[in-house]
Amino acid sequence: MLDLDSINTGFSRKALVYDEYGADHPAIQWTRAQVYMRVLAVAAPGASLLELNAGTGADAARLAERGFRVHATDLADGMVAAIRDKIEARGLHDRLTAQQCSFTEPQFIQGGPYDVILSNFGGLNCVPDLSLVVRGLPRLLKPGGHVIAVVMPPVCPWELAQALRGRFNVAFRRLRRAVLAHVEGAHFITYYFSPAEVQRAFGEDFATVHLQSLSLFSPPAFMDGFPRRFPRLFRWLTALDARLTPHPPFNALGDFFVLTLRYHPAC
């Protein structure tokens, strides 16, 4: 069951601390850079981009500053307020717009059709059935346009390794495929999907053009002390990620995977 009220409450509270946490976090900054590279691989500055579950607008603002025309949507009141603050503070009125809207109600999303639709950092993991999102995308995406989905898979080796420290709830939570998440005092279910499951949900009109994982060899964001304690090792591991994770079998594992699909409508 999709509890939109709890998701709104939890992420609105998270908006108050999210930007500060990620501002100088090496793992978060590295993963963001990998996603931006995927956007730039399929579209040039000046293209139109729709971001679903845009959060505080950190990605939307940076992509707008790089020349994209971005429409950022999110369900949470606090997140949308943070996006609008960024528009004002950075003078992005001509390149960035914000709308409060759930991605399960794509019929209400304004604008389009867009060149790129981006869903970053596990937003799609908040829905039990990806068809709730996918069904509305053809109206919002140009033929030949791309979807970039950053999703949490069921297997994250760094989390599995937490069993060695006795943290069994962390180690095996993804393997249950549906887990009660706790975000700033709010509770809702998080669902984990394999790349194959996401590909099937998008259907035959969407062709996979690229798949890579994030934070497979390098530690994910929850291990925030690692990059600061071992900066040279962290840089070496991220280089290994960049080299190997676009290739099987490495591209289906990790903290996230980045799936890029091209829209080819049948008629």
CA dihedral 50, 123, 41, 210 (to 10 degrees): -130
- pLDDT for 158 equals 96
Q: In 3D, which of 13, 5, 6 has the Cα closest to residue 78?
A: 13
Spatial separation of the C-alpha atoms in residues 190 and 182, rounded to whole Å? 10
Task: List the domain range (segments joined by +) for residue 21.
Answer: 4-263
Tens-place pLDDT, residues 87-144: 999 999 999 999 999 989 999 999 989 999 999 999 999 999 999 999 999 999 999 9
Backbone angles phi, psi at 139, to 5 degrees: -70, -25
CATH code of residue 123 = 3.40.50.150
Spatial separation of the C-alpha atoms in residues 178 and 211, rounded to whole Å? 23
- pTM for the model stands at 0.94
Specify the number of domains making up the chain. Answer: 1
DSSP code per residue over 223-241? -TTHHHH-HHHHHHHHHHH
The tokens for 36 are 């931006």
Q: How far is CA 153 from CA 81, 119, 144, 191, in A?
A: 30, 15, 26, 9
Q: In 3D, which of 92, 102, 89, 141 has the Cα closest to residue 6?
A: 102
Tens-place pLDDT, residues 61-78: 999 999 999 999 999 899
**pLDDT > 90: what percent of the chain?**
80
